[in-house]
Structure 1
């Protein structure tokens, strides 16, 4: 009889679909909500500047503590030396007891044209 390796994982691990499942909880801020903030910012930019940008997904390896204040979004300056346009989603203050006091997550942006 062949040996079978047991893998203990929760139901949520087994069904993880990526950023759609990466939601804010009591401890961490979800990448889904971070991406949505970036998308809303880009939609406003597109309307006001008649541009055709699209916010992509942030790096799925990033984990940040839950933010205690509303998130803000701004363009990342070209002086940061990134190879493509990005917006920074910024948290000015995290919940008490977090491993970081504030954070920012860069979200890549591309032209839809």
Structure 2
């Protein structure tokens, strides 16, 4: 099970010579979360990447890891959100990039 709904718009966002596809980024994040869920007996689900995201093609395999977004509420409270970071250490052009995908417990 890849978690991608039939007819998902991500099917149309595959990698090209210069652009790394959101489909491949999504699949890397889903594989990471599935492995973590199996290892830790957890039930995390990963959200699809924002369709406006555009990154250079990665020339090395993607790296995935847990990350955290830190936001601040209007009253100054710090809010933290767990994410999966999909990282390219060596793109074909430009600087290294990270795409963070939200995760949430399914139960």
Q: TM-score, normalising length from structure 1?
A: 0.76
Which residue pairs with 2:77 in the alignment? none
Name which of 85, 95, 99 aligns with 1:88.
85
Root-mean-square deviation (CA, aligned residues, Å) is: 1.4
Give a deviation string over 1:65-103, Cα, whole Å, max 9, x none. 0000010001113xx4155321100000011xx2x2210
| CA distance in 1: counterparts of 2:101 and 2:31, whole angstroms | 12
| Residue correspondence of structure 1 range 6-85 to structure 2 within 5 A | 18-77=9-68, 80-82=69-71, 83-85=80-82
The unaligned stretches of length 5 or more in structure 2 are 1-7, 72-79
Q: Which has the higher helix share?
A: 1
Which residue pairs with 1:103 in the alignment? 97
Matched residue of 1:60: which SS?
A: coil
Which residue pairs with 2:5 in the alignment? none
TM-fit CA distance, 1:56: 1.1
Deviates more, 1:57-66 or 1:83-92: 83-92
The unaligned stretches of length 5 or more in structure 1 are 1-16
Matched residue of 2:81: which SS?
A: coil
Q: TM-score, normalising length from structure 2?
A: 0.80
Q: Between Structure 1 and Structure 2, whose CA radius of gyration is higher?
A: 1
